[in-house]
Amino acid sequence: MHRARYPTFAILSRQSLRRPSAARISIQSTILGCQRKLHTTPAAALCQSDMPKRKAQTGLDGSNGHSNGAPKKEEMKGLDGTTDLPPADGPHTSQNAWSGPGPAAFDFRSDVVTTPTPSMLRAIQNTTLLDDVFIEDPTTNSLETYMATRTSHEAALFVLSGTMGNQLALRAHLTQPPHSVLCDYRAHILEWEAGGVASLSQALVKGVMPSNGVYLTLEDVEKNVKLGDEIHGAPTRVISLENTLGGTIMPLSEIRKISAFAKKHDIKLHLDGARIWEAVVAGAGSLPEFTKEFDSVSLCFSKGLGAPVGSILVGKKAFIKHARWVRKSIGGGLRQPGVVTAAARVAVDETFGLGPNGEGGLLKASHVMAKRIADLWIGLGGKLSKPTETNMVWFDLEEKGWSDQEVAELGKEHGLRLLGGDWLCIIRLERRLWSAWRKF
């Protein structure tokens, strides 16, 4: 059987994420390709071995491959029996969760499903364990200083998630209602953060549909911004951009125009840069070129970079001081975060890379793979619903007339964890799967 040198993966996602009713497939290789390069353990070999064999070991067929007392599939509620590792309180042998991609290699619901690498584990073993509420942990302080420098900002704050980074930023910028935030109508802060801007910042969020159908332009902003103190309106105090948005890059030139506009009108500019790394690696501009245009930026260490936990918020000293205060108020003051900040540093240096354009990092390989997958799909007569610019390939499923259910079932047949609903599933592309797809 033909196998690609590195694995190729697809995420199938329902486009109700962005536009209800249209189903799309998004292929992402992201950290998973990198993991395969990094992990050379028996677990990695297992991932590369025959799928049916793995199927039997992971309990996808209803059995459980372990004779060590690990629970059976039906007992593993919420996991759907797709782990091939013993539970954390079970017996530990030479194979543990760090020894290979593990279940993440076959779990394709999102690029948030990644497995930290052995070098992250080594960094965690060597980390410092002091208190961060007192701002005394050297590993955490060093990561914050490092990220401030790399993004050309004065200061940084480690936060537990991308959502926390965005919400703290907006809360710190938004001081006095009535006020509003302007963003793309598909933005994570509007659609995917549990209404946090309303509950935490009492702000109206105005979602704008880009007139070019791809990304917001200065003209879109000018048309929708609320300036002045007219009593019926909630003035725009923050413009929040997202880059990449669903794998699509917002060009630096447009960001510069919006940034100049925001400055002129004394509006804060925030970037949800959960995946800004991808835009950089795609060659759209260096990390500091992007980040210095904003008053604040939130960047994720998990997702494509593969760290187990965390994001970083960067901005001016006074802003970060305030965000730290708000973080404390919502229970985000951290005692010994060195265990996660150590891994985050490895994620930046090894997965993104040491240079401002991601030089020396692993992400670029995932973009190359995504392009290959896109070409394969087109070669098979498929269509893409948007161009492949970074690590995501969007298949037009609707055009093929495939249902979510059919694709999910197909994935299951091949031992892959695929999800119904918004994030439908991810598929590992291999010849066998392609032939199965042709049956549709």
Ligand X SMILES: Cc1ncc(COP(=O)(O)O)c(C=O)c1O
Contacts with ligand X by CB under 6 A lie at 112, 161-163, 188, 242, 272, 274, 300, 302
Q: Which is nearer to ligand X, 191 or 413 (CB)?
A: 191
Output 204 or 274, the one with its CB closest to ligand X: 274
Contact 152, 356 (CB under 8 A): no
- Token readout for 331 is 């229970």
**Which candidate, 189, 31, 193, places its Cα nearest to that of 112?**
31
Cβ closer to ligand X: 208 or 410?
Answer: 208
- The minimum distance between CB 159 and ligand X, in angstroms, equals 9
Do residues 247 and 391 lie in contact, with contact meaning Cβ atoms separated by under 8 Å? yes
Q: Which of residues 96 and 110 has its CB atom nearest to ligand X in the complex?
A: 110
**Nearest-approach distance from CB 46 to ligand X, in angstroms:** 28
Residue 240 or 388: the one with the smaller Cβ distance to ligand X is: 240
Question: Using only C-alpha atoms, what is the Rg of the chain?
Answer: 22
C-beta pairs of 123-129 under 8 Å, 24+ apart in sequence? 123/342, 123/343, 123/345, 123/346, 124/339, 124/340, 124/342, 124/343, 126/342, 127/338, 127/339, 127/341, 127/342, 128/338, 129/336, 129/338, 129/339
For strand 180-184 and strand 236-242, is the pairing parallel, antiparallel, or unpaired?
parallel
User: Which of 240, 236, 222 shows the shortest CA–CA distance to 177?
Assistant: 236
For ligand X, give the closer residue by CB, 217 or 240: 240
Q: Which is nearer to ligand X, 84 or 193 (CB)?
A: 193
Q: Least distance to ligand X from the beta carbon of 297, Å? A: 11
SS3 182: strand
Q: Name the closest residue to ligand X (Cβ).
A: 162
Cβ(127)–Cβ(283) below 8 Å: no
CB of 405 to ligand X, least distance (A): 24
- Spacing of C-alpha 406 from chain mean position: 26
CB of 112 to ligand X, least distance (A): 6
> Residue 25 CB, nearest distance to ligand X (Å)?
17
User: Are the C-beta atoms of 268 and 294 separated by less than 8 Å?
Assistant: no
Q: Which two tokens stand for residue 90?
A: 């079970």
Minimum distance of ligand X from residue 115's CB (angstroms): 16
